[in-house]
Chain A
Amino acid sequence: MKKSILSQRLGFSLLTACTAAVVGFLAIILWDIVTKGAGSVTWKFLTDAPRDGMTQGGIMPAIVGTFFATTITTVLALPLGCCVAIYLNEYAKDTAITRLIRVTIRNLAGVPSIVYGLFGVVLFVQGLRLGTSILSAGLTLGLLTLPWTITASEEALKTVPASYREGAFALGATKWQAIYTNVLPYAFGGILTGAILGIARAAGETAPILFTGAAFYLPFLPRSVFDQFMALPYHLYILSTQHHQIEKVRPLAYGTALVLLGLVLGMNLIAVIIRYKIRKNTKAV
């Protein structure tokens, strides 16, 4: 066989093998969690509080807690990230300072989440005296999500053709009018999907909420944003590593993992659907 054909086949096989390995790992993880967790996920599991030292009952408070914390995350990260992106992409001139800001934002995305957690303690729990609460935890997760939201929003704004802005200006639009009426509507889908992906990631984080509001065990639902709360990822961490009867609660841990996985996948699915719908509506035919 000719050498070029051989190297071609070799390269192709290598790439296929890499892809297969990645898909394989994902499949193994999913298989493991689904087969071992499916048995635990019943209606009662989803709607009951943990009982008998977390060896019985369900994970309702953790689901509700994660839901509330994530809502606060969204309320902080989506509008703020969107505004920062509009400023950077539409208003800021290309100077050394704005370039530094951009680099900083991208680097923030790489900061370990435990650092965000400790920062949240200093800023929200102690500094702003919000205590260990859903609010502190949600805001900390919001900070963690911001770099993603900003970057995704900026990318979305960049995909809007310059001719839309130019066309609006030529008709006597002010800068803000052009952005508001002729840029944002077409970037909104991208902004929203980016934000959802970031928030979905935040929903699965443990380290940032560890010191800022997540509770070890609270068999009732939070009554205000200043209450502590149970969260799915933290509950999972406890069930699988900190519990005194680890073997006994293993099915519950798998069930929790499955619910968390379903939640994150569900959010990603919503993002995909929104992106698809908006693409369909604004695509140049």
Chain B
Amino acid sequence: MDSQDKISVRNLNFYYGQVRRVTNVTIDIKANQVIGIIGPSGCGKSTFLRTLNRMNDLILGARVEGMVLLDGEDIYDPEVDVVDVRRRVGMVFQKSNPFPKSIYENVAYGLRIGGVREKDFIAERVEKSLRDAALWEEVKDRLDDNAMRLSGGQQQRLCIARALAIEPEVLLMDEPASALDPTATLKVEELIQELKKKYTIIIVTHNMQQAARISDFTAFFMLGELVEFDETKQMFTKPQKKITEEYITGRFG
């Protein structure tokens, strides 16, 4: 671990009841990089992602061992406020989940619950977030419309804008394009390339081409273990392990 590392995971184990879902993961993630997490269904990649902003805290009977250091500070330290962690590590879910509020209120939500009251500030931040999420031009004339009226791809970009509005440092994305058509997927992928200038992005994907296209580093998970972690170029051309190669070349999964 060195000072450039945004997130350092140390010997992380995640248990759900008696079952261990994530096994002894150690990984260092540098700032302003896109990290793709790949692996077959049920390999624990989503579970791992959710340990990074303590979303698993919500699951009854879940237990975490090990450390997740965010800028060197363990987010599982009892002194640390989970609300603070989640504001620093934002998340976009697999299934876009806009709230049935107006487009504007969706983006303003994080600010409002964070106690921001200044109207001008909120309006400014809403516009900026929507621009950053490449959605502004499409919705600027109908910010008061219910967000549920947006198309699937727009909804997912709205969720990204909503996450950006509170200016997190890290953005976790759990298969953000899996429910989108190719055009919408392309938009989200382009967006991720833009966003990495400001954010560290960790993205779970079941789509290997997508991981190859958008990520700087790739982590391959299997059966809850981190099998291999390397630069994407290296990983997709000369993987260290045979099983990684087999997965990448589509021999199973």
| B61: min CB distance to chain A, Å | 10
Question: A170–B148 contact, CB under 8 A?
Answer: no
Return chain B residues, CB-CB under 8 Å to A283: 100, 148
Q: Mark interface residues in A136-180 (1 if CB within 8 Å of B CB, else 0).
A: 000000000000000000000000010110111111111001000
How far, in Å, is A283 (CB) from chain B's closest CB? 8
Chain A residues within 8 Å of B91, by CB: 170
**Chain A nearest CB, measured from B196 CB (Å):** 20
Q: Which of chain A's residues have a CB closer than 8 A to the CB of B93?
A: 163, 166-167, 170
A181/B109 in contact, CB under 8 A: yes
- For chain A, the count of residues having a C-beta within 8 Å of the partner chain is 23
A284: chain B residues at CB < 8 Å are: 100, 148
By the criterion CB–CB under 8 Å, are B97 and A177 in contact?
no
Q: Is A244 an interface residue (CB 8 A)?
A: no
Chain B nearest CB, measured from A188 CB (Å): 13
**How distant is A134 from chain B, measured CB to nearest CB, in Å?**
40
Q: Using an 8 Å CB-CB cutoff, how does the interface string of B74-110 with A read, 1 for contact, 0 for none? A: 0000000001101100110101010110000000011
Residue B6 lies at the interface, judged by CB distance under 8 Å to chain A = no
Q: Does B125 contact A (CB under 8 A)?
A: no
> What B residues does A164 contact at CB under 8 A?
97, 99
Let me know if B182 is at the binding interface, CB within 8 A: no
- A172 in contact with B84 (CB, 8 Å): yes
A285 vs B93: C-alpha distance in the bound complex, in angstroms?
20
| Dominant secondary structure at the B interface | helix
Known: A171-B86, A171-B90, A285-B146. A166 touches B58 (CB 8 A): yes
Q: What residues of A have a CB within 8 angstroms of the CB of B215 in the complex? A: none
CA distance A181 to B86 in the complex (A): 17
Q: Which residue of B lies closest to A282 (CB)?
A: B100
- Cβ 8 A contact of B113, one of A94, A177, A282: A177
The answer to whether A172 and B83 have CB atoms under 8 Å apart is: yes
B166 engages A172 (CB within 8 Å): yes
**Residues from chain B with Cβ under 8 Å of A169 in the complex:** 55, 58, 86
Task: Flag if A163 contacts B97 (CB, 8 Å).
Answer: yes
Q: For the complex, is A248 an interface residue (Cβ under 8 Å from B)?
A: no
Cβ-based interface call for B204 (8 A): no
Question: Which of B109, B146, B163 meets A168, CB within 8 Å?
Answer: B109
- Beta-carbon contact of A173 and B99 below 8 Å: no
Which of A93, A170, A282 contacts B60 (CB under 8 A)? A93
Assess whether A116 is interfacial by the CB under 8 Å rule. Answer: no
- Give the chain B neighbours of A181 by CB distance below 8 A: 109, 112-113
| Residue among A170, A173, A174 making CB contact with B55, cutoff 8 Å | A170
For chain A, residues 60 to 99, give those with C-beta under 8 angstroms from any C-beta of chain B: 93-94
| A234 in the interface (beta carbon within 8 A) | no
> A171 and B55: CB pair below 8 A?
no
**Is B162 at the interface (CB under 8 A from chain A)?**
yes
Q: Is A55's beta carbon under 8 Å from chain B?
A: no
User: Could you tell me the distance in whole angstroms from the C-beta of B213 to the nearest C-beta in chain A?
Assistant: 25
Decide: A167 and B146 in contact? CB cutoff 8 A.
no
Known: A171-B110, A172-B84, A181-B113. 6 other contacts (CB 8 A): A171-B162, A172-B86, A172-B114, A173-B113, A177-B113, A285-B149
A-B contact pairs, 10 of them (CB 8 A): A164-B99, A166-B58, A167-B93, A170-B53, A171-B110, A182-B99, A182-B109, A283-B100, A285-B146, A285-B148
Interface residues of A (CB under 8 A from B): 93-94, 161, 163-164, 166-174, 177, 181-182, 186, 281-285
Nearest 6 CB-CB pairs, A to B?
A172-B87, A163-B97, A171-B110, A170-B91, A172-B86, A167-B97
